[in-house]
Amino acid sequence: MVADSRFINNLKDGFRRGDTVIRLLYWNVGIFIVVSLVTVILTLFRIPVAPWINYLELPASVERFIFQPWTILTYMFLHVSLLHILFNMLWLYWFGKLFLQFFSSKHLRGLYLLGGIVGGVFYILAYNVFPYFEEVKDYSYLLGASASVLAIVVAVAEREPNYPIQFLFIGSVRLKYVALFMILLDLLFMTSGNAGGHIAHLGGALAGWLFAIGLRKGHDLTRWINAVCDVVCGDWKPKPRKPKMKVHYSDKQKDYDFNARKKERSDEIDRILDKLRKSGYSSLTDEEKKSLFDASKK
């Protein structure tokens, strides 16, 4: 009992102290273990497993999706094969850690969800637009974190295209070629047995590319997702309303206002420098560039 308690506490501590990559790994592996245990129990009682799993998978049918819209989120954390989750989690760990060298933790959380959502939308659209999928549309489902992972890979590749990646037996390969190779494979296998997965990968890749391009121009496509996550997780706090009142200024008040304005300018410069470090000089607005130039002359 003591050992079990210690093991659980270690898991909790690892999740609490871990970065966003580790937390995403915890969620995916935890859900995989729970789903696997439930599957074993249902099988022992000869209860069909597919109907239960289908409530978490993303259906290709629009009619089915209308009645289970939550699957646009749950499917990207769902794996039913050991090799499937192992491959996805290895790529998530490698490229998630690399992602955090150039972007923030919130960007990683937001892009994981955005890539999965866009990948899921691509999947549903393809199965309802192309006649090739007409016969299998009503009983096709999507699961796995691949679209989210590819969004992360492409975002880093767009940000640092010449970053060297070491592969066993191959050697060093530039990241842009890794991303292009994966996208090309998905294009070639759009009509294979795992057509839905490859289509979703393309949606995730598009999300990653648009995110990186947008962030360079000062537009964060993950902002709305992170705002929702902050509210759900309880991290969001409304700004207190300032009471309206007449203020009589004194010399002390003037000194206070001067120091407050000075601190505000300093905080703004720190924010601009942080943005410059993460996204490059081209991501700064004209106003931010002017503020940085003015500060450099003081």
pTM: 0.78
Q: Which residue has the tokens 């503020």?
A: 291
Q: What pLDDT is recorded for position 170?
A: 87
* Predicted confidence (pLDDT) per residue in 213-236, tens digit: 999 999 999 999 999 999 998 765
Q: What pLDDT is recorded for position 247?
A: 47
3-state DSSP assignment of residue 155: helix
State the average pLDDT over residues 286-293. 72
Q: Name the CATH superfamily, with its identifier, for domain 2-232.
A: Rhomboid-like (1.20.1540.10)
Residue 24 pLDDT class (50, 70, 90 cuts): very high
Q: What pLDDT is recorded for position 265?
A: 72
3-state DSSP assignment of residue 280: coil
Q: What pLDDT is recorded for position 257?
A: 57
pLDDT of residue 21 exceeding 70, the answer is yes
Specify the long-range contacts of residues 181-190, CB closer than 8 Å, at least 24 apart: 182/150, 182/153, 183/150, 183/154, 190/126
In DSSP terms, 59 is beta-bridged to 141
* Predicted confidence (pLDDT) per residue in 83-134, tens digit: 999 999 999 999 999 999 999 999 999 999 999 999 999 999 999 999 999 9
* Predicted confidence (pLDDT) per residue in 133-170, tens digit: 999 999 999 999 999 999 999 999 999 999 999 988 88
- Which has more confidence, 185 or 245? 185
State the average pLDDT over residues 69-80. 97
Extents of the domains making up the chain:
2-232, 252-296
Residue 249 pLDDT class (50, 70, 90 cuts): very low
